Amino acid sequence: MEGLMERFLRYVAVDTQANFESEACPSTAGQLDLARMLEKELQELGLADVTLDDYGYVMARLPKNTDKDVPAIGFLAHLDTAAEFNGKQIKPQLVYAYNGDDIVLNEGLGITFSPSSYPNLSNYIGKTLVLTDGTTLLGVDDKAGIAEIMTAMDYLMRHPEILHGEIMVAFSPDEEIGRGPLLFDVEKFGAQFAYTLDGGPLGEFQYENFNAASAVITFKGNNIHPGHAKDIMVSALDRAMEFHGCLPKFQQPQYTSGYEGYYHLMNFNGDVEAARLVYYIRDFCKTGFEARKSYMKKVAEELGKSYGADQVKLDIKDVYYNMRQLMVEGSPLLEIPLSAMKNLGISPVITPIRGGTDGAQLSYKGLLTPNLFIGGENFHGKYEFAALEDMEMAAWVIVEIAKLYESL
């Protein structure tokens, strides 16, 4: 579709890496830079009610062109890239008609992308791939989603013969650090239902996700010159490692799949005097989710009895919940995307989201929001990539969904 690749490459050039440590919204200035760019482009496309608020939320409306009473639907994507991996100075490279061989991402650093290590790469033989130079992530998550929504809106504006109801679009900050929907104004947005463009490979459709919490555990120690440490030094690092050793080893992300939950140590820093651990806690089942949090509290309490209650501090915060329990099987919200894909010759793949999405929190704010594919894989790392042909299909799915809602 015209302009899709150009848009995508333009968006990934903007550094929008989120920052856990910032309390601002958005958490980084680059997200506002991209938001302003999108505000201008939406205005140039001719969409109505284009707004950008002080927090970096961009919203716009494509007016209906049908006399039928059609539900207002929305499409959303997020501005930021992952906080935990370098998203600065991205240098995309293209491979046309991929032949199935190893791809040298960075000859100087010896970084090669191989289907022997990433078998999913073999699914893209013959397609045009967009990849990194091996030193950054790419930003497919979620700038592909932004580019697909923008391209679909452009197409619908240029093809008024395609009848549709009102279509709302929004681009929001800080999804990667779990804050995207916090200041999202659902009432202002005005959609009855919505879809995030934040999924993975071709055909993926998701309407269930992890229940999620974050946990921060801090440990106190006592430092002194190591030559005089006998019976005086207390290592906060040792205490932190003891805590981590109490968690089930094989309930970490690298050992789990499907519906299995996990504890994920995201960050470990400190010294002898003080140490800090940051965890993600994830589970699809609400009972299992509560059990994981309870176990972590129990471990902290037991260590507190040994070290002293003031020596260990645990802070657990719920971030989002599984939207599956809010979804109704057989509803147009779930059936129309499946029909849209089938109409386009795409085989739908219904999978759980082993992660988060703005749609989870928005669903609990009253805006039911399942998740659609964007045509990429290996997010949050140097082997992230997208296939142009699959990105194009994602944009066509948006157009087809709009047509099918109008035909209800």
Active-site residue set:
80, 175
Angle at 160 between CA 158 and CA 164, to 5 degrees: 120
360, β-bridge pairs: none
**CB neighbour class for 54 (10 Å; exposed up to 12, middle 13-18, buried from 19):** exposed
For 238-246, the CB contacts below 8 A with 24+ separation are 239/275, 239/303, 239/307, 239/311, 239/312, 240/268, 240/270, 240/275, 240/276, 240/277, 242/303, 243/217, 243/219, 243/277, 243/299, 243/300, 243/303, 243/312, 244/268, 244/277, 246/299, 246/303
**CB neighbour class for 237 (10 Å; exposed up to 12, middle 13-18, buried from 19):** middle
Rounded to the nearest 5°, which phi and psi values hold at 149? -65, -45
DSSP letter, residue 112 = E
Length of the chain, please?
Answer: 408
DSSP letter, residue 173 = S
By the 8 A CB rule, do 31 and 11 touch? no
- As a three-state string, the secondary structure of 314-369 is EEEEEEECCHHHHCCCCCHHHHHHHHHHHHCCCCCEECCECCCCHHHHHHHCCCCC
Closest by Cα among 250, 202, 238 to 351: 202
User: Residue 60 and residue 168: Cα distance in Å, rounded?
Assistant: 6
Phi/psi zone of residue 139: left (φ > 0), alpha (ψ -120 to 50 degrees), beta?
Answer: left
By the 8 A CB rule, do 292 and 262 touch? no
By the 8 A CB rule, do 346 and 393 touch? yes
Output the CA–CA distances (angstroms, integers) from residue 315 to 17, 18, 211, 277, 312, in the order listed: 25, 22, 17, 11, 10
Q: Is 407 helix (H, G, I), strand (E, B) or coil?
A: coil
